[in-house]
C-alpha cells in the first residue's frame, strides 16, 4: 500500500486551471498527487510536471472513479473535488439535457467521488475533502441558473457529508471562488475592458488568481484547519457583500 509517511492527494479536474494549480500546490506541500481529468493528455502533462499519478476518468462515472482510486493505490488523505463545467443560458431556454449535464458534472460527481474516497479514508483513519463551489451558489447571476443551482447543492452536500463523516475523522469543507482570472473564466477576462470593470467592482480592486484559491485549499487541507468542518469559505475579495454599496443613491 505504499509509504504511509507520504500523504496522498486526489485532485479532480486537475488537467488545467484551478485544479492544475491546486495539484501543483499539493505536490509542493509534500503530497503524492493523483491528477484526475477527463482529458488524458492534460492529466499526463500536469502529473509529469509534479511527479504525480495521471488518472484519466469521468467524475460522473462511478466505475471509472473506483478504478482511478484503485490505481492511486492508497486511500487519499486529501480529496479536492474540483472538476466542473459551465453551460450558460437563460432558464427559459436552457435545454433539459444541458441542465442535467451541469448538475451531473458539478454536483452529482461530488457525491460519486467523495463517497468512493471517504470509504477508503474511513478505513485509513480519516482524511480531508474540499469541494469547489462558486459565489454563484450564494448569489444568482445572469445566465448561470443551472450552474448556480448545482453549486448551491455542493455547499449543502458539503455540510451533510461533514455531519455524517466527522465521526470517521473526515473533515469536509467547500470553497466558493469569485471572479478568478484562470481556468473557465480566463477567456472572459481576455477582454481588457471587462477585466477592468470586474476588477474595480471588487472591494479589493482586483480579480482573483488560481494561487488565491490554491492557498485557501492548502490551508483547509492543513492541520491549521483541524477543527474546521462543514464550512464554505468564500474567496472573492469581498465582492458578494458589495451589492448594497453599488445601489444608485439619487
Ligand atoms: N475559474 C473561475 O472563475 C471559477 C469560479 C468559481 C468556481 N470555479 C470552479 O472551480 C472549478 C475549476 O474550474 P476551472 O476554472 O479551473 O475550470 P476549467 O474548465 O479550466 O477546468 C475544469 C477541468 O475539469 C475537467 N472536467 C470537466 N468535466 C469533467 C468530468 N466529467 N470528469 C473529469 N474531469 C472533468 C476539465 O477537463 C478541466 O480540465 C470548477 O468546479 C468551477 O466551477 C471556477
User: Mean pLDDT by 10-residue block, N- to C-terminus, for the chain (250 residues)?
Assistant: 79 98 98 98 98 98 98 98 97 96 98 99 98 96 96 98 98 98 95 96 98 98 98 98 89
Exposed e or buried b per residue across 139-174, where buried means at least 16 C-beta atoms within 10 angstroms of its C-beta? eeeeebbbbbbbbbbbbebbbebbeebeeeebbbbb
The residue to mutate among 22, 39, 85, having the most atoms of ligand 1 within 8 angstroms of its beta carbon, is 85
d(CA 67, CA 18): 24
Output the nine-digit C-alpha cell for 219: 490551508
Output the CATH code of domain 8-238. 3.40.50.720
119 C-alpha to ligand 1 centroid (Å): 24
d(CA 102, CA 114): 18
Confidence at residue 67, expressed as pLDDT on a 0 to 100 scale:
98
Local structure of residue 2 (DSSP, 8 states): -
Kindly list the domain boundaries of the chain, sorted by start residue: 8-238
d(CA 202, CA 99): 29
Output the nine-digit C-alpha cell for 183: 481556468
How many other CB atoms are there within 10 angstroms of residue 191's CB atom?
11
Q: Hunting for cell 479536474 — which residue is that?
A: 13
Is the CB of 182 inside a 6 Å radius of any atom of ligand 1? yes
Is the CB of 132 inside a 6 Å radius of any atom of ligand 1? yes
Is the CB of 108 inside a 6 Å radius of any atom of ligand 1? no
CA 94 from centre of chain = 24
| Contact predicate 90/145, CB 8 Å | yes
245 C-alpha to ligand 1 centroid (Å): 31
- Which SS3 state, helix, strand or coil, does residue 155 take? helix
16 C-alpha to ligand 1 centroid (Å): 8
205 C-alpha to ligand 1 centroid (Å): 24
- Catalytic residue selected from 31, 99, 147, 179: 147
| Ligand 1 closest atom vs CA 20 | 16
Is the CB of 74 inside a 6 Å radius of any atom of ligand 1? no
Active site residue 189: no
The candidate with the shortest Cα–Cα distance to 178, out of 204, 158, 160, is 204
Q: Which residues, other chains included, contact 225 with Cβ-Cβ below 8 Å and sequence gap of 6+?
A: 171, 173, 219
d(CA 202, CA 25): 25
The residue to mutate among 15, 16, 17, having the most atoms of ligand 1 within 8 angstroms of its beta carbon, is 17
243 C-alpha to ligand 1 centroid (Å): 26
The residue to mutate among 18, 55, 178, having the most atoms of ligand 1 within 8 angstroms of its beta carbon, is 18
Confidence at residue 4, expressed as pLDDT on a 0 to 100 scale:
65
- Which SS3 state, helix, strand or coil, does residue 18 take? helix
Output the nine-digit C-alpha cell for 21: 494549480
pTM attached to this predicted model:
0.98
User: For residue 56, what is the enclosing H or E element?
Assistant: strand 53-56
Confidence at residue 1, expressed as pLDDT on a 0 to 100 scale:
42
Amino acid at each position: 500500500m505504499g509509504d504511509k509517511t507520504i500523504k496522498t492527494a486526489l485532485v479532480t479536474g486537475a488537467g488545467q486551471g484551478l485544479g492544475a494549480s491546486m495539484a501543483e500546490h499539493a505536490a509542493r506541500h509534500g503530497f503524492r498527487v493523483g491528477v484526475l481529468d477527463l482529458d488524458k493528455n492534460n492529466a499526463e502533462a500536469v502529473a509529469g510536471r509534479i511527479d504525480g499519478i495521471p488518472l484519466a476518468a469521468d467524475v460522473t462515472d462511478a466505475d471509472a472513479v473506483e478504478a482511478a482510486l484503485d490505481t492511486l493505490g492508497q486511500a487519499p488523505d486529501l480529496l479536492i473535488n474540483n472538476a466542473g463545467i459551465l453551460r450558460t443560458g437563460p432558464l427559459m431556454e436552457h435545454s433539459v439535457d444541458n441542465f442535467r449535464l451541469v448538475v451531473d458534472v458539478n454536483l452529482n460527481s461530488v457525491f460519486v467521488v467523495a463517497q468512493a474516497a471517504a470509504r477508503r479514508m474511513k478505513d485509513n483513519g480519516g482524511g480531508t475533502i474540499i469541494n469547489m463551489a462558486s459565489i454563484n451558489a450564494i448569489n444568482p447571476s445572469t445566465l448561470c441558473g443551472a450552474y448556480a443551482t448545482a453549486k448551491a447543492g455542493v455547499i449543502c452536500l458539503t455540510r451533510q457529508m461533514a455531519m455524517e463523516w466527522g465521526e470517521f475523522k473526515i473533515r469536509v469543507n467547500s470553497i466558493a471562488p469569485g471572479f478568478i482570472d484562470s481556468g473557465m473564466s480566463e477567456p472572459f477576462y481576455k477582454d481588457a475592458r471587462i477585466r477592468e470593470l470586474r476588477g474595480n467592482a471588487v472591494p479589493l480592486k482586483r480579480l482573483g488568481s488560481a494561487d488565491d484559491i490554491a492557498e485557501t485549499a492548502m490551508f483547509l487541507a492543513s492541520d491549521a484547519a483541524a477543527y474546521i468542518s462543514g464550512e464554505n469559505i468564500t474567496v472573492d475579495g469581498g465582492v458578494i457583500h458589495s451589492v448594497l454599496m453599488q445601489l444608485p443613491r439619487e
